Each structure stands twice: as structure tokens, then as C-alpha cells.
Chain A
Amino acid sequence: MKLYAQCGHAPADKINRGIELGLVDGAILSPRYLTPDNASQIASELKQIKSHIDVLLDPEFYATRYVGTPNAQLRYLEEWPYFIDTKRTDLLINSHLVDEILQNSFNAQKDIGCTQLIAPNIYIGNSFDSIDAAIAISFINKAKPVAERMQANLPVYATVAAHRDAIIHHNNFISFLSTLTALEFPPDGIYSLVGGGSADERAGTVRSEVISPDVIAGWMLLNHSLSLNGIRVINGFSDILTPFLGAAGGYAGATGWWSNLQVFSMGRYIKGPAGGQSPLLKYLCLKLLNRISVNSLKAYIELIPDILNSLPTDAYYNGREPSRTEEALQSWEAIKFMTDNTISNNIGESLERLENRIVTAESYYRRLNELGFSEGFESNIEYLQCLKDSLMAFERLAEL
């Protein structure tokens, strides 16, 4: 399974270093933070580091719903030629309009030198039994034919961006999957985003609304069902769920350096309250399946030295605070390692390995609790139970 850098604000040298060290297989650029010229320059720089890496651009067309909203934070998005606010009714009845948006977006991605194309799409809010879902299917079904007509000669990934509430209504979601897997013109793959936001924008994946058995199982089902049908799935903002999605058949996952690049949320396009502290530096601890602060890491190592991942990037945390770049590299290395060591060709085996990791994490939390680190113990155990329940829910949904 591949891992991509999910790009956002202040990339500095994070992506370059990640590629140099072989921790990520490419990058998903964000037009929100890049003008077309800048995107083109970054794509070219990344390909100079390694010629065979994947450079993709998420068109973020789903954010057009906020065009004209007073508190919208769209930044450079409105400089991209395809990013034009369009009425839902027009998208529903005017198929030429959908073609035009696809074509403009593909042209922009080709111009900057993307190695794969991500088709734009709208966001499916509360239900897959909706006008939004019908429009989304239209974008997905047209993506490949439009790219072929343009002679793009690049793999095409259609976007499925949905809110977690739509996923948990399994009947409608499964019906949508049935449509998706029997399209007349299937794309080469799907770029999948599951939106949920987090209780606190700085809280990260573990405390987000996406961490729910029905949501994770549904996301895994999407990966499983599409992979059975020869359609690759790139999971955006999948972070620590990457190995779970890979076990179900996913082709790639992605994560970034800020918490808003580790969980997808439409809230990121709306201005939140100003100010606040800079987020704490974290260490992605595979033994705990969680990110912990540098101070916690120091304290835990004293009593349980094997809590470290025993990976090369651990050195960044040895007796000092890592830089933001080093923090990102550690995170990618941990996810890549866990993914590579979890996924096998046998789905049953992969799921069993994941379950073992969760059980191990529980035992580490219990040890820490016994040693007096009781803060957050209940919620961490609850989170791990949720991951366990997700595996069971997935097995049930996938009829395994």
C-alpha cells in the first residue's frame, strides 16, 4: 500500500525529505495553499528528487459550496480555473457543465505535471440517497470518458467525498456502492474522503468523529468492494486508519503534518475562532496506536523503554525536541511501517494482525495506568475498543 503526503499550510521541506527518505510515495497537493504556478514548481521539484513518485492534486471542488460565504477560507482556490460556484440544479440537469468542470480541472492538473488525475466532485452531506449523491455519480461516471476524450493518458481517480453521517446509513451507502461498482465507464480509481471533523481542530484523528465503528467499517467496505472490482482506492486524510483501509483492499493512504491534514473536515474551509496556541509536538506511538506529546513520551520511556517504535526517526526525539519536519517524518515512517507489517494478501490474516495490534495497545495503556499514568486512560481504552468494534463491523458488512 502506498502512502502519500497530504499537503497543506507550511510544507517547508517536509515533503521533499519524506520523499528523499522513501517514507512517502508521493504527494497530494492542495490548490487551496498553492497558485497554479507554485503547484507546477513544487510538482517539478518533487519529480526531480525521485522521478517515479506520484504527484496528485485534490481539486477541492467540493469547497465551491462556500464561494461567496463571508467567513469562507478558500485562499488560492478561487484562482484555479475550474473552481467556480455552480448551482446544484445546474449540475443535475446540465451534463455539459459537468464535462466542462472535469475538463478544466484535468487541464489544470496536466499543466502542473500531475502523474494521476483526480476528478472534481461535490460533497455528499447527510445521505447517499440524495440529489448530491446523484450529482456525485454523474461526475464519477463521466470522469474517465472526459479524460479519454482529452487524450490525457493518465490514470483517473474519481472523488467520493462524503460526510460520516452518510456512511453510517449503511443501506443507502451499500446501494451507492452497488452503483459505483457497476458503472458503465468506471474510473481507474477512487479518491475517497470521509469527513467528520474533530471535536477540537487540534485534537487529531483519535478524537475525531470519524473514529466510530460504523464509519470506519463503512470506509473499509468501500475499499474492499472497489478493490474486488479492480478499482483502486486512494484514501485522503486517512492517517492512522491507513493500515485498516489497506487491510480491506485500499491502494493508498495519505496524511499530513497538522491535525487538519490528518482528518478531513469541511470545517477547514470556514474561519474558526482566531488565535490559540501552536499545536504540541507529537510522537506517533505504534504501541499505543496514538499520538502522544513529547513530554509524555519522555515519561513513558523511563518506565517502559520498549514503548518506542524502534524505527530510525525515533532518533529525532532522543534527548531533544524534534522540528516540525522531523515530527512529520516520524509520523509517515510509523504509518508506513505499520501498514507494511500488517497487510498481507490474505484479508483474514491482515485483520487478525490489526486486532493483535489493538490488543497490544490496550495492554500498554493498562501498564501505564498501573504505573500511575491514568490521565485519559478511559477514553484511550474506549478509542481502542472502537477500533476493535470497527473490525468486527467490517467483517459483518463484508460477509467475511
Chain B
Amino acid sequence: MEFKPDSELLKKALPDIEIIRFVAMGGYKAVYEAIINGKKEALKVAYIPREDDRSEEVPDTLLRIKREVESLNQCKCPYLVRLGSLKPQWHIIGFHNYIVYSEEFLEGKSLAELIKSGFKPTFDQCRKLLLCFLYVIKELKMNKLIHRDIKPANVLALDDPDRPYVVLDLGIAFKLDSTAITRDPNAVLGTLPYMPPETFTENFHQQIDFRSDLYSAALTTYEYASGTHPFIQGQRSDPFILQRILKITPSSLYSHRPDFPGSFCQMIDQLIKKIPALRPSNIDDLIKKLEAL
């Protein structure tokens, strides 16, 4: 994120909010742990780039936040982060424009942190993770949304049996049957190692649907379970990763976790197929199968 606000200026601009600590920073947002209306929440501070004064266009970032907030308002799935009490507000902090709003504060580690620490999840933890993903994707699908950025860094593992995993960040969610936010029609958004092959095709807007999220969710589960990402393999260069996404068939999850049921590994293997038509798309059926395992 460009122009992370100075913490003193931020506190001054938000006198009713007690900022406890800086937590993380994404593409255009900084996240803080804060007390808002007497409750601990995640304060989101998004930088809004200044547009050319003559331009009548609304900045992309502003539209994205609007979509994220609208989407989170629409979706009621418990495995998706909830909005907090602070509605989006416009602030000028220093010389820059920001939108400030809040989400619930969740105590937990991201899957990215857990994978990095070498944590080896049990089968039941992986099964629950995939179940949480499926419920989230089902809810998003009902609302004609595609998350587009499901990855270990956007999933928190909580110590809560009712909400073992929560998916964060609808910042680049794609709304079907709606006007695209990004002005460049060729711009592909997402995090490369978790992007499905169809996002790299011509007219990708026509190609993507909820099965793109199923792919990213299964890939995240694969990485969480196995501790390895099939397309990174120690190399971090984009062309290398892209080539592997498009061409390489990952080894079966079962080869990494022979202690897992074969049917679970097969489900993951099938959901990360390159052709969307080869990914099982009946979410209710997948949930039923997972619940029976």
C-alpha cells in the first residue's frame, strides 16, 4: 500500500477510536487492531489515490471498497468475515485521501503463517477447511460473486469450533452481470500462484465463474495439508509459476498425505483441474460427501 498514514495523524483524525496496534498491510489497505464503539474490531484504512482534477471518473479503489462492503453486507455465511460497526467514512489524513471502515477482529493465525511455521494439520482440520470454503463459495455464488483471491493469507484459523476457519478480503471480488471495476479490460487481478488457468485466457471475464474459487480453495487446502505449493516449488519467478499453472498436473495430494482418505485427496485433485468443466461443481453434493467422511 502506498502512503500508509502516519499513526499520530491517524489517531488525530479518528479521535473516537482507540488504535491498539498495526496488524498488516495489503495492496491498498492497512489494518489495525482498534477499539471502536467499546468493542475490539479490525480497522481498515484504504488509501484512495488522487485522480486528475479534470477527471470525472471515480477511483477504482473507491469502487472496490464499495463492492466489498456491499458484498459483505449481502453474505451471511459464518465462515466469511463480518463487517464491524464503523461504516465507511472519508478522511483526509496528511495530504492524502482515505476511506476508513471496520470489520470484526478475529483472533487467529492465517493459514500462510501456519504453513510457514511447518504446521501439519490433521485430516479433520483439512476437511473442515474445505467445508468452510464450500459454504463461503456457495454463499458468494448465490450473490453472483467470485472472491478471486482465496489463498492462505486470506484465511484465518480460529480457536472456535463454530467458526474454525474464516475467509477474509473481498477486495477484488468480481460481480457477475455487473460492470467491471478495473478499467483495463486486460488487467488480471489476483495472487498469481492461486489464480486458476482460465483467468489467463482471452476474454477471461467470460470464462470465470464460481469454479475459479473452487480451484483456489482446493489449492489452498492442498498447500495447507501438504505444506507445499505445487506450482511454486522453491521458484518465485512469475513466468515459472505461470508456466506451471498452465501446464503441470500437480502430484496427487495422497502422495503427500497417505494418512488422508483417498476420496478426500481425489476430491482436491479433481477441484484443481485446469479445465473448469472437469471440476465437480455441485457444491451441495461436495458438502454432503465431505460431511460423510
Residues of A within 8 A of B (CB): 174-175, 177-178, 180-182, 224-225, 228-230, 397-399
Q: Is the CB of A178 within 8 A of B274?
A: no
- How distant is A309 from chain B, measured CB to nearest CB, in Å? 34
Q: Is the CB of A182 within 8 A of B281?
A: yes
Q: Which residues of the other chain, A, contact B277 by a CB distance below 8 angstroms?
A: 174, 177-178, 180-181, 225, 229
Q: Is the CB of B276 within 8 A of A230?
A: no
Q: Is the CB of A225 within 8 A of B211?
A: no
Q: How many residues of B contact A (CB 8 A)?
A: 17
In angstroms, Cα B215 to Cα A399, docked, is: 14
In angstroms, Cα B274 to Cα A181, docked, is: 14
> Is B278 in contact with chain A by the CB < 8 A criterion?
yes
Per-residue contact bits, chain B 256-289, to A (CB 8 Å; 1 contact, 0 not):
0000000000000010011111111110010000
- Please name 11 further chain A to chain B contacts, defined as beta carbons within 8 Å, in addition to the given A178-B277, A181-B277, A230-B285, sorted by A numbering: A174-B277, A177-B277, A178-B207, A182-B210, A182-B281, A228-B278, A228-B280, A229-B280, A230-B280, A397-B275, A399-B275
Q: Is the CB of A181 within 8 A of B276?
A: yes
Q: Is the CB of B278 within 8 A of A398?
A: yes
Q: Which residues of the other chain, A, contact B281 by a CB distance below 8 angstroms?
A: 181-182, 229
- Pick the residue among B209, B211, B249, B282 that contacts A230 (CB under 8 A): B282
- How distant is A59 from chain B, measured CB to nearest CB, in Å? 26
Q: Which residues of the other chain, B, contact A224 by a CB distance below 8 angstroms?
A: 278
Q: Is the CB of A182 within 8 A of B282?
A: no
- Closest residue to B272 on the A side, CB-wise? A399
- Closest residue to B273 on the A side, CB-wise? A399
- Closest residue to B279 on the A side, CB-wise? A228
Nearest 5 A/B pairs, CB to CB: A177-B277, A225-B277, A178-B277, A181-B277, A178-B276
In angstroms, Cα B210 to Cα A46, docked, is: 44
Q: Is the CB of A399 within 8 A of B278?
A: yes
- How distant is B266 from chain A, measured CB to nearest CB, in Å? 10
Q: Can you give 20 A-B contacts (C-beta < 8 A)?
A: A175-B207, A177-B275, A177-B277, A178-B207, A178-B276, A178-B277, A181-B276, A181-B277, A181-B281, A182-B209, A182-B281, A225-B277, A228-B280, A229-B277, A229-B281, A230-B282, A230-B285, A397-B275, A398-B278, A399-B273
Residues of B within 8 A of A (CB): 207, 209-211, 249, 270, 273-282, 285
In angstroms, Cα B281 to Cα A182, docked, is: 7
Q: Which residues of the other chain, B, contact A398 by a CB distance below 8 angstroms?
A: 278
- Closest residue to A179 on the B side, CB-wise? B277
Q: Is the CB of A399 within 8 A of B249?
A: yes
Q: Is the CB of B274 within 8 A of A399?
A: yes
In angstroms, Cα B172 to Cα A51, docked, is: 56
In angstroms, Cα B277 to Cα A228, docked, is: 9
Q: Which residues of the other chain, A, contact B275 by a CB distance below 8 angstroms?
A: 174, 177-178, 225, 397, 399
- How distant is B270 from chain A, measured CB to nearest CB, in Å? 7
- Closest residue to B250 on the A side, CB-wise? A399
In angstroms, Cα B276 to Cα A180, docked, is: 11
- Closest residue to A224 on the B side, CB-wise? B278
Q: Which residues of the other chain, B, contact A225 by a CB distance below 8 angstroms?
A: 275, 277-278
- Pick the residue among B210, B274, B282 that contacts A229 (CB under 8 A): B282
Q: Which residues of the other chain, A, contact B273 by a CB distance below 8 angstroms?
A: 399
Q: Which of A180, A181, A230 has the largest count of B CB atoms less than 10 A from its CB?
A: A181
- How distant is A244 from chain B, measured CB to nearest CB, in Å? 18
In angstroms, Cα B279 to Cα A180, docked, is: 12
- How distant is A249 from chain B, measured CB to nearest CB, in Å? 11
Q: Which residues of the other chain, A, contact B276 by a CB distance below 8 angstroms?
A: 178, 181-182
In angstroms, Cα B273 to Cα A225, docked, is: 11
Q: Which of B275, B279, B280 has the largest count of A CB atoms less than 10 A from its CB?
A: B275
- Closest residue to B206 on the A side, CB-wise? A175
Q: Which residues of the other chain, A, contact B274 by a CB distance below 8 angstroms?
A: 399
Answer whether A182 and B211 are a contact pair too, CB < 8 Å, given A224-B278, A399-B273: yes
- Closest residue to B141 on the A side, CB-wise? A182
- How distant is A393 from chain B, measured CB to nearest CB, in Å? 14
In angstroms, Cα B214 to Cα A182, docked, is: 13
- How distant is A338 from chain B, measured CB to nearest CB, in Å? 26
In angstroms, Cα B279 to Cα A228, docked, is: 7
In angstroms, Cα B119 to Cα A31, docked, is: 64
In angstroms, Cα B277 to Cα A398, docked, is: 10
In angstroms, Cα B276 to Cα A174, docked, is: 9
Q: Which residues of the other chain, B, contact A178 by a CB distance below 8 angstroms?
A: 207, 275-277
In angstroms, Cα B281 to Cα A228, docked, is: 8
